[in-house]
Amino acid sequence: MSHRSFSFYKRMVFILCLLPALLLLEGVLNDRLGSNPIEALVRQSGDWTLRFLFITLSISPLRKLTGQSYWIRLRRMLGLYTFFYASLHVSLYIGLDKFLYWDEIVEDIFERPFITIGLLSFLLLIPLAVTSTQKMIRRLGKNWLRLHRMIYLISITAVLHFYMMVKADTQEPWIYIFILTLLLAFRLPLPIKIPLPWRKGS
Ligand code: HEM
């Protein structure tokens, strides 16, 4: 793919990734979020954080399966979008759900384990977002890779946050657990080489 057409696709992906946030905004403006709009906003932004986390984790498998390296050039943007949706989710919880009542927030952190785990996931995402620039990649060298492997731990704690939050119907968290297992299993070295007919030389 030429540099020009890749830049075009990258811009398209950038706009596409903004759509969930715009749809949430549209829901607010047109009063389309149901009887409890604050809960809907917190929950939907949480869903999108998890989805973007998984999309980011899919990049490596996609590169391996297709043999195309341009996927990797989308990874930083997708990772930053994960952080953007996580920040939105946390801000909506703090600003709208808790209305900046810090006592209640601290109480939640200590008394509701799913909030504690969510906070841990968010705090672990911060160093990854901060070190996502080319300058930091160069400066940290091999440590950059080590640090960014934390994404696997984050994905586990994020799914756990969702699982612990759900009280009765755990079907949706189980779907995420299943997808995450596949995404993580893909990282394991295979004892045999599976031929992929669409990949040259595989
Ligand atoms: C990477 C970080 C995080 C991810 C991926 C994430 C993801 C999610 C998901 C998927 C849901 C469930 C949405 C649904 O019901 O469909 C959720 C709900 C929620 N999360 Fe998070 N979350 C994260 C961090 C946090 C943090 C840091 C907090 C607060 C400090 C938080 C507070 C909440 C709350 C209050 C709910 C809704 C609970 C309810 O309505 O009963 N989350 N989150």
Residues of the chain short of pLDDT 70, as ranges, are 200-202
Confirm or reject: Cβ of 118 under 6 Å from ligand 1. yes
Residue identifier of the C-alpha nearest atom 32 of ligand 1: 115
Cα(11) to centroid of ligand 1, in Å?
Answer: 29
Cα–Cα distance measured from residue 33 to residue 172, given in angstroms and rounded to the nearest whole number: 20
Q: Distance from CA of residue 46 to its chain's centroid?
A: 9
What local confidence, expressed as pLDDT, does residue 198 receive? 78
Nearest Cα to 74, choosing from 1, 135, 142, 172?
Answer: 1
pLDDT at 175: 98
Per-residue CA distances from 125 to 38, 64, 156, 167, 191 (Å): 24, 25, 12, 26, 32
Per-residue tokens: 40: 């809907």
pLDDT at 13: 97
Does the beta carbon of 48 lie inside 6 Å of ligand 1? no
What are 90's two structure tokens?
């946390």
